[in-house]
Amino acid sequence: MYNPQVPTDGHSSAADSHFDSGTLAFGKTPEHGNQRIRHLLKCFGLRTSLIRLKVIDALLSAAEHGRTLGVRGVHSHMLELGIPLSFLSVREVLKRLCSEGVITLNADKSYSLHAEAAKVLEGRE
């Protein structure tokens, strides 16, 4: 039965492995990284969705490699993963994550994880 208080994405936890892009978030296993991103979204009152998982994962992956991503970079990353989303859809997700305080828009028009969100991912909430 549907419970509106419990955010879901329509997938059981056993099916979470197909969300994995192979990126290790903060040195954790990919599955553990996805669970941490799910927890992060829940802490900010957001539902889990594939695009939100992948957008945050892309930003974390870029940060781990010392790079930053803008809308075009995130969109390209989505296309490389075989997720056919429009540029506008990616931009809207980034804007929503910004408005909720999960990520921040930097002066160079790139996005990065907000300091409070980083604390949640690191378990220092």
pLDDT, position 125: 59
pLDDT at residue 5 greater than cutoff 90: no
> Which residues lie closer than 8 Å to 39 by C-beta, 6 or more apart?
120
Dihedral Cα 97, 20, 112, 121, nearest 10 deg: 80
pLDDT, position 106: 95
The CATH code of domain 24-121 reads 1.10.10.10
**Where along the chain do its domains lie?**
24-121
Nearest to 121 by CA among 32, 54, 10: 32
Q: What is the mean pLDDT of the chain?
A: 80
Rounded to an integer, what distance in angstroms lies between the CA atom of residue 70 and that of residue 1? Answer: 39
pLDDT at residue 55 greater than cutoff 60: yes
Whole-model pTM? 0.71
Task: Please answer whether residues 96 and 88 qualify as being in contact, where contact means their C-beta atoms are separated by less than 8 angstroms.
Answer: no
**Model confidence pLDDT, tens digit, residues 92-114:** 999 999 999 999 999 999 999 99
Residue 72, Cβ neighbours under 10 Å: how many? Answer: 12
pLDDT at residue 1 greater than cutoff 50: no
